[in-house]
Amino acid sequence: MVGKDKLQTNRTCPNCKTNMESKITNWTFFCRNCGLWTSNLGSKENRLLREMDVSQKDRIKGLHSIRLENATITRRAFEKHDTLHGKTLCDVGSGYGWFNQVFEEGGAQVLGIEPEKIVAKQARVKTRIGYFPNALKRGERFDIISFNDVFEHMNHPSKVLEEVHKRLNKKGKLIVSVPSSGGLFYRLIPVFHKLGYREPWNRLWQCEFNSPHVLYFNSNNLKALIEKKGFRQIDKGRLKTFELRGLKNRINTGKGTGKIISCLLFAVLVLTYPLINYIFPSDSIFQIFEKV
Ligand SMILES: [Zn+2]
């Protein structure tokens, strides 16, 4: 999996600049001051060690319904503060364009930016292939910029936020959704890891996927990092961790998930569905900010 040499043993927290300590594994780091987690999975040498990509079919089936549902939850929260009619929206890392579809139905003029050509081509909404902000035209600005399950992959989140600030119109809104380290799974999985069952921790960080996680926020450190860059939080909430429809495909998406383990995991998730999605601390959160 991850090579042992060339791994950093300490680093500075991108949020509060405190020295981070290596925790759980030698490739994950924790900030005692603000609770932010980082990994070095975004570095080039580790990228070369990952061979696997996710099969397109499982990826689409596994994520479609949950992403649509979470986009609808986010849209309802947004509409409590502002109308979508006539607003321009740029969704960064837009994937198949599902988030944009939901916001377009609400009246927004949407644009997606997606680096994976094969994915971008399947989007039903206007999508440009490339990265933020390079894919944008000179001086191009929006009323809303969104990052859905994207921010946790960023190597330089502060720089990205500075660019978002420049690319938003006056009183523009920033929408961010991320997996949360305050969630139930993130709290439970280190216990499994200590018992020698390491696959869930690797999976949490997507370390064998093409695009692994390099940051793991909680509600407080996400807000702190973003507000430092000239934004004010106006709303926040929980998103669903999984939907029953598509769940089997999502479980099958990971490499090395044996059949018995997959079936067991499926059964446990079905039985605990209401607790995980409504009662326990959520593993997926969104926050909405206004440019100040
Ligand atoms: Zn910190």
Q: Which residues, chain by chain, have CB under 5 Å from ion ligand 1?
A: 13, 15-16, 18, 31, 33-34, 36
For residue 71 the two structure tokens come to 């986009």
> DSSP secondary-structure letter at 217?
B
Output the CA 72–ligand 1 centroid distance in Å: 31
Query: What span, in angstroms and rounded, lies between the C-alpha atoms of 209 and 214?
Result: 12
- Please list the residues that pair with 146 across neighbouring strands: 91, 175
Calculated CA dihedral for residues 120, 39, 251, 150, nearest 10 degrees: -30
From ligand 1's centre to the CA of 216, what distance in Å?
11
Cα 32 to middle of ligand 1, angstroms: 7
CA of 76 to the centre of ligand 1 (A): 31
Q: Indicate left, alpha or beta for 119 from its phi (over 0: left) and psi (-120 to 50: alpha).
A: alpha
3-state SS of 27-45 is CEEECCCCCCEEECCCCHH
Cα separation of 106 and 63, whole Å?
21
* CA–centroid distance, residue 135 to ligand 1 (Å): 31
| 52-291 maps to CATH 3.40.50.720 | no
- For residue 5, how far is its CA from the centre of ligand 1 (angstroms)? 25
- Rounded Cα distance, 86 and 65, in Å: 27
Ligand 1 centroid distance, CA of 224 (Å): 10
Residue 156 CA, ligand 1 centroid: distance in Å: 14
pLDDT per residue as tens, the chain (292 positions)? 444 434 455 689 999 999 999 999 999 999 999 999 999 887 654 443 343 345 566 667 667 888 999 999 999 999 999 999 999 999 999 999 999 999 999 999 999 999 989 989 999 999 999 999 999 999 999 999 999 999 999 989 999 999 999 999 999 999 999 999 998 889 889 988 888 888 889 989 988 777 899 999 999 999 999 999 999 999 999 998 766 666 666 666 555 557 777 788 778 777 777 777 777 788 999 999 999 9
d(CA 74, CA 286): 7
Scan for tokens 């992403």, then name that residue.
67
CA of 13 to the centre of ligand 1 (A): 5
How many Å apart are CA 32 and CA 49, to the nearest integer? 29
Alpha carbon distance 95, 114 (integer Å): 6
pTM across the whole model: 0.85
